[in-house]
Every structure is written in C-alpha cells, then in structure tokens.
Structure 1
C-alpha cells in the first residue's frame, strides 16, 4: 500500500474517531417516549398501524381521487353517529354516561411540540447565521435537492414521501449506525475540504484595500 493511501486511511480513522456521536444527536431530536418508540419500531403494532393508516389515506386521495372536504365531513358524521348511539344507549341501559371532559389531548403533547418547534427554530437561526459554513452549505444543498424533487411530485405525494422517510429511516439508522456514521464523517470532511479550496481559490484572490491608520491628534 502506498504512503498516500495509508495516510488517507489514517486520516479517515482520525476523522471518524473525532466525529461527534451522531446517535446522541439523533436521539435528542426524536426524544424519548411514545414518539421514539414509533419511529424506531419498538412498538411494532403501533408503527405498522400508523403506516397502514397514512397509506390508506394517501390511497384515498391519490389513487381513488377522494375529495378532502368530503372525507373530513364524512369522518365528522361518522364520529357524531357513534357518539349519539353510545350516549343514547347509555341513557336506557345501566351504562355510565361518558365523561366528555376526559376526552382531551394531553398537555404534554403540546409541550413536546412547543419544545421541538423552538429547538428547530434555534437550529435554523444558528445554521443561517453562517457560524458553521459546512452546516450552512449542507443545509442549503439539502433544501435545493428537496425543491428539485418536490417539483416532480404533487404536494400530497411529497408529504407521503416525507412521512415514509420519517417512519423508516430512523429505524434503519439505528440498525446500521456504524456505517452511517462513517459515511457522514467522510461527507463532512469532504465538505470542509471543498469549503477550504473554495476559500483558497476565490476568496483569497479578492483584492483587499489597505486600511489607513487614523492620525492621532
């Protein structure tokens, strides 16, 4: 093996060892609890049910061309009929009347959404500030790729594609963590080299005027 090849392998090893633990960042994004269990397929039945449900809704709109307003109204009609039948039967039988005050969305759900939204906004602001040029260019490139892909899909198909990525990719990452971390570390290293070369070839060649010193009185 040549010296340059061995140096490159050694540099890859050092870069990989010095790369931050993507798993900890990954788990900090998805959090713990029910959401992580669904995304990582720890609760197989629930994850499969959500996947089948969203696929069925996508099929209704995209394949059978069902109208969204009609579907929403039919869902409300069905829900009202179920509540009416349940409430009526409870009146004339020994069933206890349902307590509608218990049918509420947990406050923890809103807190989780509020916390995650703020975290995303802070990360977006930090990335857009350009403090980390590698992250800045990677994010810009990702948005551009998504925009190109989105131009070839309808909004519904794009949302369904994003859902499939969110539903499947986290579980695949946890299974093939070492391989993904190695590829990401190499990608970050190549991006840093590209940014350095861009700065050397173009930014350093921009002529800079001489700064005149102020005369002191």
Structure 2
C-alpha cells in the first residue's frame, strides 16, 4: 500500500521525479539565487541597468576602461578640491571623506585568498602535465576550446552583457513557467526517442536485407560453379 507522502497528488507538477530540488535550491538558496530569480528585484534591476549603462558607455560612446576610470577620478578630485577650498573660504565643514587606509589585516587576508587560489591552479596544472588526472585534462581542454570558440565569435564585452542578461532572465522565466517547460521537454524527449527507435529499426532492417541478398547471391554463384 502506498503511504500518503509517496502518493502522487492530483494536479502536481509533471517534473521528473529524479529532480526534487527547486530552481532556488539549485542556485544555492542564498543571495545569489534571490538575485537571479528576482526575489530581490531592486538588486536585479540595478545589475541590469548597470550592465546597460556600461554597454552604452563602452560600446556606444566608445570609452575604454582606462579612459573612463581616469575621467571619473578627475571629475571626483576636482569636485572635492573645489568643495574643500570653498569650505575654507566660507568657513564651512570640509567634505565628509573618511580617513582611508589599508590595514595589515586586510592585506594579509587578501594575500591568503590569492595564495590559496593560485596554489589550486598550479596544483591542477601539475596534475595535468604529469598525466595524473585525465578527467581534469579533458574537462579543462573542453572548456578552453569553448572559450576560444566563443571568444573568436564575439568580443568580451558583448559576451559579458549577453551572459548577464541570460543569467538574470532564463532561470526566472523557467521558474515561472516550470511546469510547461518540463512538459514540453518531456514530450520532445519522447519524440526523439521514438524517431531513434524507428531509425535504428529501419536501418537494421535495411542492412539485414542487404546482407541476406548478398548471401543468397554468393550461394547462387557457388552453386553455378
């Protein structure tokens, strides 16, 4: 007898029983998942607007990263310098800029973080060049080939904008229309399997007929001889 928790519920999602995790759980159930799935709409919209603004600045206006940073810093220090001079003349408080200094603890943490990840990369490189990890070699080779192929087809800025838009739209749309997408995917999979069976059967029957015909012809030639 099937227990109540195992009994399928009427009108339940047609998703595969092998995937019980939600889309939110697949993305880690944290802040990243909330942003990707529009649970924090202000952050998601801010990222999309920032990506659009950067696309306009770099692609449309023709700025480079170095020129943009230089112009922004130039404008910033000019405004702060003029503010400080005017404040001294008008006896007003200076700009509320805190004392900025990089502490030894922050430097040590950054160095440990960089050292850890660099050592991971070097360890993987050593395993590959010494033939210790074939799976890692094939994985990295495939990823590098894909990066090379995509990089040859488009520039890094367009790829970055496209990736941001895809990451912030496709998972959210899938979560919204999950049942319909799963139903269509299951139907498409069944259709592909059916055509594969028909093709394999027809191909097998074709070769079997040819082999039988060849055997009969060879037997006839031997009999004539």
| TM-score, normalised relative to structure 1 | 0.49
User: Greater Rg, structure 1 or structure 2?
Assistant: 2
Q: Which has the higher contact order (CA 8 A, sep 6+)?
A: 1
| TM-score, normalised relative to structure 2 | 0.47
